[in-house]
Chains A and B, each alone.
Chain A
Amino acid sequence: MAKIKGAVVVDTERCKGCDLCVVACPSDVLALSKELNAKGYNFSYMENPDACIGCAACAYVCPDACITVYKVKLQD
């Protein structure tokens, strides 16, 4: 069966740590970092990268267009 696997890249300097992507993700992939970016925001990152399905829900709701999404179909 084909399995979908995704990955996201967050522009951590553009991110404002608003948390909306974290809430929107259906697979609990994202979290806000403990570290701060140059503007002092706790940026979003993939805490559980293996769970990402590349659905781009996070990217759709991000007000600052910080998220790039990738997706592959794996055959096994």
Chain B
Amino acid sequence: MTTNEIINPANLVHKKTDLLTDVPMHYCPGCSHGVVHKLLAEVIDEMGIQEETIGVAPVGCAVFAYNYIDIDWQQAAHGRAPAVATGIKRLLPERYVFTYQGDGDLAAIGTAETIHACNRGENIMIIFINNGIYGMTGGQMAPTTLEGMKTSTSPYGRNVELNGYPLNITKLLAELEGTCYVTRQSVHNVAGVRRAKKAIQKGFENSELKKGTSVIEIVSTCNSGWKLSPAASNDWMVKNMFPAYPLGDLKNV
């Protein structure tokens, strides 16, 4: 059978969901943000909740997320996504509300909003893209930057005496009474993509069951900020990020 004969709608096994718009994503080639957007769109599509889902986009590279997934969105000021999501969820309790935030957004300027939304147990899902760096603004050090990791503001590597320790905020959030599901995933290979997708689905299901806040950290790459190729970034992440931010469920009640 020739390739042209195989390429037939009857033999289709995988295609882009229509919920992911045709607008080309502005992310750098190979950026983890794209994979996570794709998974969110697939889950919302498969759950049939397009009309009931509201995303809150951050400040950071994902600031234009609303252009890419065909649902309702609100864009929040830097770090304030969990507060904005709280307001939306309380006014429209039957909607599925999630935030999408980078580590600068969630773990630096938005620490207070994140901790308090989780502590109140808002019935929202927080998607947390931890690439260990401020991607959008030129690769500055973030609270999550690893010890010794070079960034544009720590050119000799993060020095814990000067800059403090990498902030394992997901672990902190798992300690709070209000969180029901706290997990750390990745999207660098097929198994990771499959698990991350299941985690996102579970986050939406928890919102429906009013179980509290679900936090889904995706340990991610920022190949531009890290100054590596996309494939080398994945390898670097496995070797350096995973020991500091181990994958798996931190809490599942």
Contacts and interface: CB of A to CB of B under 8 A. Distances in A.
Contacts of B38: 62-63, 65
B11 A20 contact: no
Contacts of B230: 18-20
Contacts of A56: 13-14
B80 to A, nearest CB: 27
Question: SS class of chain A's interface: helix, strand, loop or mixed?
Answer: mixed
B11 A16 contact: no
Contacts of A49: 3
Contacts of B34: 62-65
A60 B187 CA distance: 9
Interface residues of B, number: 35
Contact of A71 (B11, B33, B193): B11
A59 B14 contact: yes
B29 interface: yes
B30 A68 contact: no
A52 B7 CA distance: 12
Interface residues of A, number: 36
A5 B1 contact: yes
Given A5-B1, A54-B13, A63-B29, 19 more contacts: A11-B16, A14-B24, A19-B229, A19-B231, A23-B234, A24-B190, A49-B3, A60-B14, A60-B193, A61-B190, A61-B193, A63-B31, A63-B33, A63-B34, A64-B24, A66-B16, A71-B6, A71-B11, A74-B1
